Amino acid sequence: MDVDESYGGFGRDVKQGREESAMDRLPTELLNEIFSWSMPVIPSFRAIDGPLLLTAVCGRWRECALSQSDLWDTIYLPSPLDGISAGVVQLCKLWLERSRNRPLSIDFHLSSDYQPWKISNKHIQDVDKIVKLLVPHAYRISKLLRISPRFLLGDLLLENMTVLDDLFLCDTADEWNGRVHVSHGSLKVPDTLRCLSLRQTFFDLKAFSSFNRLAHLDLWQLQGEGSMSIGSCLQVLRRMPWLESCTMDVAQGDCAIDLMGTEIVMQNLSFLFISWDWLVDVGPILDAVSTPVLRRLGLRGPPPSAQEWPHLSRFIRRCKPQLTQLSLKEIGFTDIHLLDCLKHLPTLTNLSISHCSVDTAFIRTLRLDGNLPLRSNVLPYLEFLSLEACDNFDVGDLAVMLNSRGKGVPSYAQKLRGIRLSLCRRIMEARRVELENSGVENVIIKVAKPTSRATPYTL
């Protein structure tokens, strides 16, 4: 039976018995473009989504959909929670056939952005079946995402993926599956690779042969021998100063003094995100790198001391980046040193602060004063502000600040376009209307649920 006919009647021609419609007269090229735009954001194998649905409407649509190979070049596997059925394996075969010689994008879905999956032995075996299907198509794979390195040490080899552009490796070690040991230089990647992500692996970049064109690097929660200390991070940045974006999760470890000597100039780096463990001081990274074109900066981690802000302040004064986005999470508290940093970031349009103690003085400083020249205000061009799980500020002062950037904004300045207030303990439902009437275009408020007190025992 044809796979398309196994979905209970979707394969019947619904066009029988009706007159020709305007859609029937559309040129094939235009119909193909419509089909491309109709694809779901998350690729799907379901019969009620494209591309399978397009093959079940009428004979012409089926013919067009089957001839349009770009509709079939993306395979997005179900998560370990949903499992891989025999039908999914057959659909993968169908996608590989219908995509012809198109570059392939394959997402194995073995990693979650939230909690690590519990991956069963059966799921590993089912994934292995699909890996075997991919072996003769290795030369077509351009994106290989969320796959365990265990599947790249047999017949499916990175060195055979001659058009590989994006690689995302994640380890699946748990009570069923042991960690994957990869020796130095054993993963041979092609020169076409531009994006590399390692998530929870037990190895680092030393497992790869070389990187000639890598532009985007994401190293997150590496484990064991793969964990990245300050010294390891500096070595990576010194080795690849041409990177355009970089995400690093810094673990505890020694920082070699000899790595701190020469400044690391990263002329192309526009995005930098640094996360760190408890009691790790990432100041040496900020002191060592120079990023003249940096546009987006993210910092996440508990401060080992109050010295993080001076490191950031020196970094901003030295590099003079034209930052547009700054994200701070779990970094402790806002104080005069952070305000000093923001005063040197007049180009900032997006500020996000999460799980921090934000005091009232900080909120007051963000007021836009119409009596001052625009550039004399802190963050004069701010468009979006997000405060998540932040406390210690007065809601009344927040309302005044929003009014100064909303309905009270000077004619020569731009209004704050949006603010997101999520789970801030002092923002209760009773203050919603006051904040929503500030004149800010988009106000999103998620009120924290009040903690219920335990009912005392009664006799």
140 strand-pairing partners:
none
| CA neighbor of 72 nearest in space, from 123, 4, 24, 124 | 4
Buried b (16+ CB within 10 A) or exposed e, 344-369: ebbebbbbbbbbbebbeebbebbbbe
State both tokens at 299. 């910092």
The whole-number pLDDT of residue 41 equals 86
Cβ 448 vs Cβ 424: under 8 Å = yes
Give the C-alpha separation, 432 to 449, whole Å.
Answer: 14
Show the DSSP H helices in 23-165 as ranges.
28-37, 59-67, 86-98, 121-134
Mean pLDDT of 202-219: 91
Cβ 237 vs Cβ 289: under 8 Å = yes
Query: pTM of the full predicted structure?
Result: 0.86
**Residue reference for tokens 């309302």:** 399
Residue 21 sits at the vertex; the CA angle it makes with 20 and 23, to the nearest 5 degrees, is 125
Give the C-alpha separation, 34 to 40, whole Å.
Answer: 12
Mean pLDDT of 401-424: 93
The whole-number pLDDT of residue 1 equals 42
- The SS3 call for residue 435 is helix
State both tokens at 94. 């169908």
Output the DSSP codes for 260-291. Answer: GSS-EE-TT--EEEEEE-TT---HHHHHHEE-
Burial class (CB in 10 A: 0-12, 13-18, 19+), 116: middle
Mean pLDDT of 211-221: 93
Give the C-alpha separation, 248 to 229, whole Å.
Answer: 10
Mean pLDDT of 262-281: 91
State both tokens at 231. 């010294």
Q: Compute CA distances 62 → 34, 52, 104, 286, 323, whole Å.
A: 14, 9, 22, 56, 49
Confidence of residue 210 (pLDDT cuts 50, 70, 90): confident
Could you give phi then psi for residue 180, rounded to 5 degrees?
-95, 125
Residue 432 CB: number of other CB atoms within 10 A? 14
| Per-residue pLDDT tens over the stretch 95-114 | 999 999 999 999 999 988 77
Mean pLDDT of 277-298: 91
